Amino acid sequence: MRPVGVRPAQRGLRARGDLGVHRTVRHARDPRVRSRPRALDHPVSPGGCAEVPRFRQLGSRHPCRRHSRERAASPSCLTAGARYGGRMTESRASDRLEIGELLARYAWALADRDWVAWQACFTADAVADYTTAGGVVGTPAEAAAWLEPTLSMFDISISQAGNVVIDFTGDESADVRSMYKMVMRIAGDTPTYMEACGYYRDRVERDARGWLLAHRFEHILYVR
């Protein structure tokens, strides 16, 4: 009859009394060393063994988690909204989206030469300054009167805006800085391409129509 719990290869060892060689060896404690009793963190079962839970969840007192919370609350980890005009709120996030769309509408109107839509990006008493590009400073209507013949020499013009930074100065006003690039083409047997790049410094205000440009200053950096 096969002994219970003994592998076939171990039968001969058991017969010779050598099976104990393959058992786990437990080192005896040195009787000269007296160890201090250690308190158990878990209840002890009737058999004398500590009942350790199978899964242990780290508590909030974990030093790494505590350090993460303290670091998140430090000034060095403040978001962009906290650095520029307070923490980002839902209304401020909506304002930023509307201002970004305003700059995009301006760029599309300029590329499409839709001067009605272009002037609709400004307030009624807005001032537009294009003197660094050889243009005029005045009302949106006066600026459109200069831009229309200037861009008529190009059959294609592409306008882009980006790198937008918004600093709110009140509930209904903000200072905005953004970069722009325009690519234009002069038609002909051998087309000529021109590129202009610069940045805008704007003041935007909100009225019944939404966020609009109250003052726009263009600073052109290069033309090639």
Domain that holds residue 112: 90-223
Q: Is the pLDDT of residue 2 over 60?
A: no
> How many domains are contained in the chain?
1
More confident position, 180 or 29: 180
Highest mean pLDDT among 47-56, 68-77, 97-106: 97-106
Helices (H), ranges, 46-182: 63-72, 80-83, 90-112, 115-119, 140-151
Mean pLDDT for the stretch of residues 83-93: 71
Domain-located, residue 50 = no
Q: Is the pLDDT of residue 187 over 70?
A: yes
What SS3 state is found at 121? coil
Query: Which token pair is 221?
Result: 């950096």
pLDDT tens track for 6-45 = 555 555 555 555 555 555 555 566 666 565 555 555 555 5
Q: Is the pLDDT of residue 111 over 80?
A: yes
Burial of 107 (0-12, 13-18, 19+ CB in 10 A): buried
Task: Please tell me the predicted confidence (pLDDT) of residue 90.
Answer: 84
Confidence of residue 91 (pLDDT cuts 50, 70, 90): confident
Domain-located, residue 30 = no
Beta strands (DSSP E) in the chain are 122-129, 137-138, 156-168, 173-186, 192-207, 210-223
What whole-number distance in Å separates Cα of residue 51 and Cα of residue 43?
A: 6
Task: Please tell me the predicted confidence (pLDDT) of residue 182.
Answer: 95
CATH number at residue 207: 3.10.450.50
β-pairing, 156-168 with 137-138? unpaired
**Around Cβ 199, how many Cβ atoms within 10 Å?**
16
What 8-state DSSP symbol labels residue 172?
Answer: S
pTM of structure? 0.61
Mean pLDDT for the stretch of residues 60-71: 54
- In the predicted model, what is the mean pLDDT of the chain? 79
The dihedral over CA atoms of 60, 61, 67, 70, expressed in degrees to the nearest 10, equals 70
What whole-number distance in Å separates Cα of residue 202 and Cα of residue 215?
A: 5
Mean pLDDT for the stretch of residues 103-129: 96
Domain-located, residue 29 = no
Domain-located, residue 26 = no
List beta partners, residue 166: 176
Task: Please tell me the predicted confidence (pLDDT) of residue 23.
Answer: 54
Domain-located, residue 14 = no
Domain-located, residue 135 = yes
Helix (H) / strand (E) element for 16: namely helix 11-16
Which of 50-59, 83-92, 131-140, 197-206 bottoms out in mean pLDDT, i.e. has the lowest? Answer: 50-59
Contact 182, 158 (CB under 8 A): yes
Task: Please tell me the predicted confidence (pLDDT) of residue 89.
Answer: 82
What whole-number distance in Å separates Cα of residue 224 and Cα of residue 18?
A: 93
Domain-located, residue 69 = no
Mean pLDDT for the stretch of residues 65-89: 54
Q: Is the pLDDT of residue 160 over 80?
A: yes
Domain-located, residue 4 = no
